[in-house]
Amino acid sequence: MIKRFYLISIIASSILFLNGIESASDSIFRYTDRVHPEIANTNMVVSQNKLATEVGFQILKQGGNAVDAATAMGFTLAVVLPRAGNLGGGGFMLIYDSSERKVSTIDYRSAAPKAAKSEMFLTESGVIRYGYLVTAVPGSVAGLLKAHSNYGRLSLQEVMQPSIELASNGFKVTYDLHQALNFGKISMLKDNESKKKFYNYKKQALSPDSWLTQPELAKTLKVISRKGKDGFYKGRIAQLISKASSRNGGLITEQDLASYRARERVAIETDYRGYKVVTMPPTASGGLVLLQTLNILENFNLKEFGHNSANSIHILSESMKRAFADRTRYHGDPDYFPVPISKLISKAYSKKRSLTINLKKVTPSKEIFPADIIVLDESPDTTHFSVIDSEGNAVSNTYTLGSSFGSGVTIPGTGFLLNNQMRNFSHLYGKSDEVSLSTSAANRLQPGKRMISTQTPTMVFNPKGDLFMILGSPGGGGIPNIVTQVISNIIDHEMGYAEAIISPRINQRLGGKLELETGFSLDTIKLLTSKGHEPVQAPSMGSVQAIFVEEPFIYGVSDTRRPGATAKGETNLK
């Protein structure tokens, strides 16, 4: 009896202790959570690759700001994460200046060569996927350098030195890189330079724990560090790109490269239950999809329905479909097409869209978008990183080669891969009366134009106006849906930061089946089926690299869906 009383007392004391910690005003952890973030109070860096995270962290330690760290990480990922990190691709960056409390953006999406015509990319089996022909003019170098020139503090040589050293001295091949190279054989073995660099004479991928040095890439990085943008878009490197393209059926010329510009655009935003969500405008159409989905969701009490309940999933799915329907008609490069941004993200428009959602059954895609529904093939092989410095300046950056390792083409004498983004234009425009994403006037191919992208670098500000979240993800066409769910998990369901990212995800696009990660119960799946959904199990979705600011602490979460993802920050408690 005494032992039993003693045991009960211990249990009761433990519950009171945990409840006390949970409710304390100075709580650091939530002990009710099953997973936890990295914690710091000075700065934080998160990326999909441990070496890149370490580089960003060291740049901050050297006195660099968030943009210096981001620039260093962008060039480093081109060395250590070649399937997605790049010099030969493009992307989007959000930059928060804490002194001005302002978000700026840089659009450095790849662009169409002037000689490109849609007929070139169409075959009987579909759009050409790999090789020189599908390479677009790369924007990554221009974008990273523009960010550094406008906002950086350290010299370009200082922020590029880590990537040069990693390319020159090499690094150990991980199991993740080895496996990615095995998957990349479909494109890379067709190119002599890529085959020579990443495979042995038996066409076997570099083995785990072997050492990868990239002397030609190191030379390219050194030229950029000395000469800046002109070192890549003019001169020897531009000549090598143009010559290789001309010899192998590609379209990129020296003129295309010399005329490329990274563009500053006005960020777009919405209010979601009192929080300001800021993201990239088109050409990054993922930002529009994110804001439209959130605006529709705001008309439903998701907290009351419960996290990942059948009802919540149903509303998420139906909201996503409606946002993607508008992408089919209206999203394109704003320099070539008047995208009706204000209308698409207006609360009144989203309210009308929400009223078409039936809580008991699925709305057929044909009723949402009464035309042919064709989903463009958008690869999940992208990468994202987030940074915040000790002054509160922050960067949210997503960039890509397109497919894993892009076109599979490595430019001789340079050591870097080129993208395969030309496949993402609407090449059937003018060839069919049917309305679909593949026939979209907004995304039709034009010389110099940028193809739409679902990349969605995002920042969220709390009701007081303070920076709260810095996040983004790879994940192809599912990127805006991934970011939507993380934001909803935190704001609607009040989940812990790590749990909000680790929780099972769904993906729904117009015309597709409801995709589910592992982790949903059979009961939930049965309820979804009874509403008319066709649930299918899908691979893991994305790799969110996020930072959360809750004074006096900074919380970093690297999504475990991709091996090697790491968060690192500095603590300076006094």
Helix (H) and strand (E) counts for the chain? 21, 21
Instruction: Identify the CA nearest to 439 among candidates 428, 451, 450.
Output: 428
- In angstroms, rounded to a whole number, what is the distance separating the alpha carbons of residues 189 and 203? 7
Which residues face 537 on adjacent strands? 516
Q: Which residues contact 70 (CB under 8 A, 6 or more apart)?
A: 56, 93, 144, 147, 385, 387, 395, 397
Burial class (CB in 10 A: 0-12, 13-18, 19+), 99: exposed
Q: Which of 135, 293, 382, 484 is catalytic?
A: 382
Which amino acid belongs to residue 331?
H
Active site residue 382: yes
- Cα dist. 541→37, 330, 378, 380 in Å? 19, 26, 13, 8
Name the 3-class secondary structure at 216: helix
Q: Residue 559 is encoded by which pair of tokens?
A: 């999504």
Residue 534 main-chain phi, psi, to 5 deg: -120, 80
Instruction: Identify the CA nearest to 164 among candidates 92, 66, 243, 79.
Output: 79
Which amino acid belongs to residue 204?
Q
Tell me the chain's radius of gyration from C-alpha atoms. 24
Strands 514-516 and 535-537: parallel
Q: Residue 428 is encoded by which pair of tokens?
A: 């059937």
Q: Which residues contact 107 (CB under 8 A, 6 or more apart)?
A: 92, 143, 262, 263, 264, 265, 280, 283, 284, 450
Length of the chain: 574
- Catalytic residue set: 382
